[in-house]
Structure 1
Amino acid sequence: MKSYPIKFTPILKERLWGGTKLRDVLGKEISSDITGESWELSAVPGDVSVVANGPYKDKSLQELMDTHGAALLGESVLSRFGTEFPILIKFIDAKQDLSIQLHPNDELARKRHNSFGKTEMWYIMQADEGAELIVGFNKNVTKEEYTANLEKNTLTDILNYEKVKEGDTFFINTGKVHAIGAGVLLAEIQQTSDVTYRIYDFNRRDKDGNTRELHTEQALDAIDYEKKDDFKVAYTKEKNVSNTMVECPYFTTNYMDVEGHLEHDITGRDSFSIYMCVDGEAEIAIGEITEKVRKGETVLIPATTEMVNLISDKAKLLEVYIG
C-alpha cells in the first residue's frame, strides 16, 4: 500500500438543529444554513467516505479496506473488526439544542440491532457565551423517577448541565444520557454505530409539522440511572508530544500541540492513525509526500507508516488510533 496522508471528501448532513459554523468557522463548502454535521471519515453503509487526494483519489474507504486490509487498518484492527471501519469521525455544529439521547452498549445493540454500541467523545472547538452540554443526571434516579419526570415533561430538572469552553473534552460511555447544547462546535470520535435512543426533543416539529420519533421503551433498560462524575477528561497540553486524553477499548485519542518540526515515531502501533486539525494548520509529511491540514480537516495514515513528520507554526491536532 502507498503510505501518504489520505484526505476524504466530507459528507455533509443537514439537521433540524444545524447552523453555519461548519462553513463560517471551519471553511467547509456549504450553501445550506442548517448543516449540522460533517462526517470526515465514515464507512457507514450509504455514507462511505471517498478519497479526495493522491494515488487513491476517488476510491472509497471501503475499497481501500477490501484491497489493502491489514496494511491500512493494522493486523490487530483487522482481526477484531474485519473490513468494517471501527470508528466514525465528525465535526458537529449545534445552532439549536440537540435531542436528549443515549446509546446502548455492545451487548444490547448486538441483540436488538445487530450493531456495535456507541461509545463517543467530544472535543469542544468553539462555544458561544453560556453554551452547555447535558451529560448524565444531577442525582441518582430510579427508573420509576425517570419515567415520572418524562411523563410530566420535567426531565430536564434531573439532568446535569455543564458549561463549556474551547478545549473542554468529554467522554460519553454507553448508557449515559446526553445532549449537545446550542452554540457548541465540536469534534466527535465515536464507535461506528448509528444506534441512538432519543428520549426527549423539546416537543419540536420539523418544517412539515412532524415531531421526531422517540425511543421511550427501548431506552428504559439501556440507561445508566446513577449520577457519575466520569465524563470530564483531564489532560496535559505539553508541546510536541502525544498527550493522552482518552484510552478505551474502541479508540485512543491524544492531544498534540505542534510548534516547529516534530518527527513522530508511530512504529509498532499496529493501527491506522487519524489526525484531526482542531486549530491552526500543519503540514503532515510521510517520506517525500506532504499534505496540509487546516482547522476542520482530517487525514488518515495507513498502519504500515512508521514515521510522521508534523510541521507547523502553531497547530492543535487530535491523534486517534485503535490501541
Structure 2
Amino acid sequence: MLRPVLLQVDNFTPPTRTPWGGRWIVDQLKRDLLIPVVREELGVVGEAWEFSVEPSFPSRTASGNLLADLIAADPVGWLGEPAVRRFGPQTPLLVKLLDASANLSVQVHPDPDDPALPPEQSGKPEAWLILHAAPGAGIWLGFRDGVTRAEVRRTIVEGGRVDELMNFIPVQAGDGFVIRPGTVHAIGAGVSLIEPQFVQAGRRGVTWRFWDWNRRYDAEGNEDEAGQPRPLHLDRSLSVATLDGATGEAFVQSCRAGEVVLHHGALATRRLCEEPWFRVDVLEGTGDAALDDAPGVQAITCTRGFARLSWDGGAIDLPAGRTAGVPAAGPEVTLLQEDAQVVRTMDGTLVA
C-alpha cells in the first residue's frame, strides 16, 4: 500500500538562476532543518522547489528517491484515475517557496495549452500566499487604466520604467493572489511566499520577461553594471499579456484570492483558490483534519509551527519548512497541527 512521503529539504535553485534571492528561506523558515555549516555556506536562495517532477529541479524523497519515479511506478495509485486520464502518468502540480531580496523581473506566463509553445514547454498558472513581507514591500499586477501595448513597448525600447505603468500592491503575510495566464506581474523586494503552480507533466514551465529593471549581471549572477542583461522576450510577452480587459484596480481585485472559509474553530481552514489547474487550502491553528476529500495527489507544506501526518501504522513529522506528498490511494491520513500554518495543494477542477 502507498504511503505519504517526506520530501527533501534543500531542493534550492542556484544564485545564477535566481540572482534576486535572499536568505529568508534558509535563515528563517528552514533554519532548524539545515546543518549550520551548510546553511552558512549557502549563498542567496531564491527558490526551494518543494514538490516537483519538473525536469529542471525534480524533488527527491528524504531517502533519496525521485518523486517522479515513485509516481511513475503507480500513476493511478498516486494521482487517481481522473488525473491520469487528463494528464497522463505524471502530476502537473508544482509547489515552490520563493524569497526576493531584490525585485523580480516583470514577466508573464502563457496558457498551458498555448498552441504556439513547442512540445517541451508549458505555461504555468500560479497562486501566491504571502508568508512574510518587509514594511512597505509589495507586488506589481497588471497595468494601470489607459496603458496600451504600444506604450509598454515604447517604454521598454526607450529604456524607461515599466513599473510606473503598473499597479503596485503593498502586501502582508496571509494575502493571497491567483496569477492566471496572461497576468503581467512582478514580486517586489522583501516579499516571501509559497507558490503552487501548474506545469504540464514532463515539460518545463515558461516565463517570458517583459523587463528586468535595466539590470546587468556578471557570470555568477551578481548585479554588475559592466555585466550582461538577462534576455527579454518582448514580442512573446506582449502577445499573451492581458491588456484588453479589466485594468487598474478592477484587474487587481480579479487577481485576489477568494479565501472562502471552509471551517471555523481552533483549526481554521480557508480555500485560497479553486481554479481549473489547482485548489489550494490554508489550515491555521491547532487541531486535526482528515485529508480524505481530495481525489488526487496532495502536496502538504508546513509554513509555520509544527504539523504531523498520521495514518494507521505510520506518521511523518512536518516542522516549518518541510513538505510531504500524499498519494490518492492508501490509508486514511490525518493532519495534526500545533499552532501551525499548513498549505495544502490539490488538483483543480479540470480533474474534479
TM-score w.r.t. length of structure 1: 0.92
- Measure how far apart 1:314 and its partner are: 1.0
Q: 1:104 aligns with which of 106, 110, 113?
A: 110
Q: 1:289 aligns with which of 308, 314, 318?
A: 314
Q: Is 1:121 aligned with 2:127?
A: yes
| Paired positions, count | 316
CA contact (8 A) 1:8 1:41 kept: no
Aligned mates of 2:331, 2:285 — CA distance in 1: 19
Q: Is 1:233 aligned with 2:260?
A: no
Aligned mates of 2:8, 2:192 — CA distance in 1: 20
Aligned mates of 1:258, 1:79 — CA distance in 2: 36
Aligned mates of 1:145, 1:234 — CA distance in 2: 32
Residue equivalent to 1:247? 274
Q: 2:29 aligns with which of 14, 26, 30?
A: 26
- Measure how far apart 1:306 and its partner are: 5.4
Q: Is 1:145 aligned with 2:146?
A: no
CA contact (8 A) 2:52 2:95 kept: yes
Alignment of 1:32-181 (within 5 A): 32-52=42-62, 57-108=63-114, 110-114=115-119, 115-152=121-158, 153-181=160-188
Residue equivalent to 1:210? 228
- Measure how far apart 1:166 and its partner are: 0.5
Q: What is the RMSD of the two structures over their aligned residues, measured on CA atoms?
A: 1.8
- After superposition, the Cα gap between the structure-2 partners of 1:8 and 1:27, relative to the gap in structure 1 and judged at 3 Å, is closer
Query: SS in structure 2 opposite 1:10?
Result: coil
- After superposition, the Cα gap between the structure-2 partners of 1:11 and 1:27, relative to the gap in structure 1 and judged at 3 Å, is same
CA contact (8 A) 1:6 1:301 kept: no
Q: Is 1:321 aligned with 2:321?
A: no
Q: Give the residue type in structure 1 aligned to 2:238.
A: L
- After superposition, the Cα gap between the structure-2 partners of 1:173 and 1:144, relative to the gap in structure 1 and judged at 3 Å, is same
CA contact (8 A) 1:88 1:190 kept: yes
Residue equivalent to 2:240? 222
- After superposition, the Cα gap between the structure-2 partners of 1:9 and 1:296, relative to the gap in structure 1 and judged at 3 Å, is closer
Q: 1:188 aligns with which of 191, 195, 207?
A: 195
Q: 1:257 aligns with which of 250, 261, 284?
A: 284
Residue equivalent to 1:302? 327
| Larger fraction in strand | 1
CA contact (8 A) 1:62 1:83 kept: no
Deviations 1:117-152 (A, max 9, x none): 210011111111110101111214322122222233
CA contact (8 A) 2:9 2:321 kept: no
Aligned mates of 1:230, 1:92 — CA distance in 2: 23
Aligned mates of 1:183, 1:161 — CA distance in 2: 14
CA contact (8 A) 1:91 1:188 kept: yes
Q: 1:279 aligns with which of 297, 304, 309?
A: 304
Aligned mates of 1:238, 1:179 — CA distance in 2: 33
Aligned mates of 2:264, 2:28 — CA distance in 1: 26
Query: SS in structure 1 opposite 2:20?
Result: strand
Query: SS in structure 2 opposite 1:148?
Result: helix
Q: Give the residue type in structure 1 aligned to 2:4.
A: Y
- After superposition, the Cα gap between the structure-2 partners of 1:258 and 1:304, relative to the gap in structure 1 and judged at 3 Å, is farther
Deviations 1:91-140 (A, max 9, x none): 011010011100011332x4223233210011111111110101111214
Aligned mates of 1:44, 1:318 — CA distance in 2: 20
Deviates more, 1:30-39 or 1:183-192: 30-39
- After superposition, the Cα gap between the structure-2 partners of 1:305 and 1:314, relative to the gap in structure 1 and judged at 3 Å, is farther
Deviations 1:13-38 (A, max 9, x none): 12211111111111253322311111
- After superposition, the Cα gap between the structure-2 partners of 1:263 and 1:27, relative to the gap in structure 1 and judged at 3 Å, is closer
Residue equivalent to 1:201? 212
Aligned mates of 2:289, 2:197 — CA distance in 1: 28
Segments of structure 1 that go 5 or more residues without pairing to the other structure are none
Aligned mates of 2:162, 2:284 — CA distance in 1: 39
CA contact (8 A) 1:6 1:300 kept: yes
CA contact (8 A) 1:266 1:305 kept: no
Q: Give the residue type in structure 1 aligned to 2:242.
A: D
- Measure how far apart 1:277 and its partner are: 1.0
